[in-house]
């Protein structure tokens, strides 16, 4: 589904935050990214607030083990509950995908702090994608659900309902919603130890995004198989532009087609590493972004302006594991880089 807002180099949070306070996390997000706030996972608050727990909770037979920070399914219970889940999926019962209130406190707090007279241009939700979730959730023998076709199918139905519920919740506070599927293990597809190959992973993504009927992003780490990723139905691809930009330039033809078709790219130009962040300033990162856009423009034959207008500015990884002060510094750096670029390219009024 095409984006219903113009990215225009807006800053946005990627992944979660390390804050133990939902009020502090919401205040930071609204201060640094007021036009595109994100609902964050807050693993520093508890394991139940982690991205894994928020995506998996409610799946039939699931046990969340906070001490070991793992999610495991008791196979017999999972198989018994799969029929009820499948029925809810066929009926489109979004309430079946609800996250318990104690695990969605950050959403409630973000909504409380949003000024109703200044609705955000868009809101961003985040959810572990089907590939990574099927590799992270195991059965009682610690075997990933990705190995079990029936439970993998049930997990896809579960995620579909969760995505729809999350979109429904966020839509109450804005006219545009972007649901980001976080896929940190997508680059494992096809490796000898992975139970899924690229065709399996692409099918999971295509079915989830295709059935959602809402704007969806893919958030990736490491090297990206650009030609394959850009062939998925994702509307936005978020990547590590700080260390992994060469692959995008090499796939300039596919990227140009993606952007021409209304897609957008999230540039992880701000390092999510305190030491690297110490070495950077907004001006140096803005110039690094400009150079990459110039290379992409030259290689793909697309003007600079549409590439910039279809860009989001973020970090090259999640901030959830950083010290609070460094996470705040990184998110404010995203905002500062965004301001410089929006002024230079006259995007402030878009």
How is the chain split into domains, by residue range? 10-344
Query: How many angstroms separate the CA atoms of 178 and 171, rounded?
Result: 10
Q: Architecture of domain 10-344 in CATH?
A: Alpha-Beta Barrel (3.20)
The residues facing 139 across adjacent strands are 73
Q: Which of 142, 173, 139, 167 is nearest to 61 (CA)?
A: 139
161-189 confidence digits (pLDDT tens): 999 999 999 999 999 999 999 999 998 88
Residue count of the chain, please give it: 350
Report, as ranges of residue numbers, the positions in the chain whose pLDDT lies below 50: none
Q: What is the pLDDT of residue 2?
A: 75
Q: What are the DSSP E strand ranges found in the chain?
A: 10-11, 62-65, 70-73, 123-128, 138-139, 177-182, 216-219, 236-239, 264-270, 311-315
The residues facing 126 across adjacent strands are 180
Q: What is the pLDDT of residue 350?
A: 66
The residues facing 153 across adjacent strands are none
**Distances from the Cα of 332 to the Cα of 122, 316, 340, 344, angstroms:** 19, 14, 13, 19
Inter-residue contact 127 to 55 (CB < 8 Å): yes
Write out the H or E segment, with its range, that includes residue 257.
helix 252-260
User: Any idea what DSSP says for residue 38?
Assistant: B
Burial of 338 (0-12, 13-18, 19+ CB in 10 A): buried
Q: What is the pLDDT of residue 1?
A: 66
């Amino acid at each position: 589904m095409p984006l219903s807002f113009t990215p225009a180099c807006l800053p946005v949070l990627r992944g979660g935050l390390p804050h133990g306070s939902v009020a502090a996390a919401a205040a930071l997000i609204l201060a640094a990214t007021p036009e595109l706030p994100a609902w964050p996972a807050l693993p520093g608050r508890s394991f139940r607030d982690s991205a894994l727990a928020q995506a998996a909770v409610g799946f039939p037979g699931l046990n969340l083990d906070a001490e070991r920070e793992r999610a495991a399914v008791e196979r017999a219970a999972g198989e018994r509950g799969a029929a009820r889940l499948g029925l809810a999926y066929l009926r489109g019962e979004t309430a079946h995908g609800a996250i318990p209130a104690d695990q969605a406190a950050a959403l409630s707090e973000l909504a409380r702090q949003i000024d109703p007279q200044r609705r955000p241009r868009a809101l961003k939700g985040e959810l572990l994608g089907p590939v990574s979730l099927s590799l992270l959730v195991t059965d009682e023998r610690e075997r990933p659900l990705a190995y079990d076709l029936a439970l993998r199918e049930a997990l896809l139905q579960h995620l579909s309902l969760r995505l729809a519920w999350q979109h429904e919740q966020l839509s109450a506070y804005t006219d545009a919603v972007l649901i980001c599927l976080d896929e940190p293990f997508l680059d494992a597809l096809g490796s000898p130890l992975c139970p899924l190959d690229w065709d399996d992973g692409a099918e999971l993504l295509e079915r989830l995004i295709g059935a959602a009927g809402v704007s969806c992003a893919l958030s990736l780490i490491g090297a990206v198989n650009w030609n394959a990723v850009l062939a998925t139905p994702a509307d936005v691809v978020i990547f590590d532009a700080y260390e992994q930009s060469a692959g995008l330039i090499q796939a300039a033809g596919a990227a140009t087609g993606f952007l021409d078709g209304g897609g957008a790219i999230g540039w992880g130009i701000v390092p999510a590493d305190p030491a690297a962040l110490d070495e950077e300033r907004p001006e140096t990162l803005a110039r690094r972004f400009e150079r990459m856009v110039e290379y992409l423009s030259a290689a793909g034959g697309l003007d600079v302006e549409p590439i910039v207008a279809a860009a989001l500015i973020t970090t090259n990884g999640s901030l959830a594991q950083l010290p609070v002060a460094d996470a705040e510094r990184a998110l404010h750096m995203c905002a500062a880089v965004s301001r410089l670029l929006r002024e230079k390219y006259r995007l402030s009024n878009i």
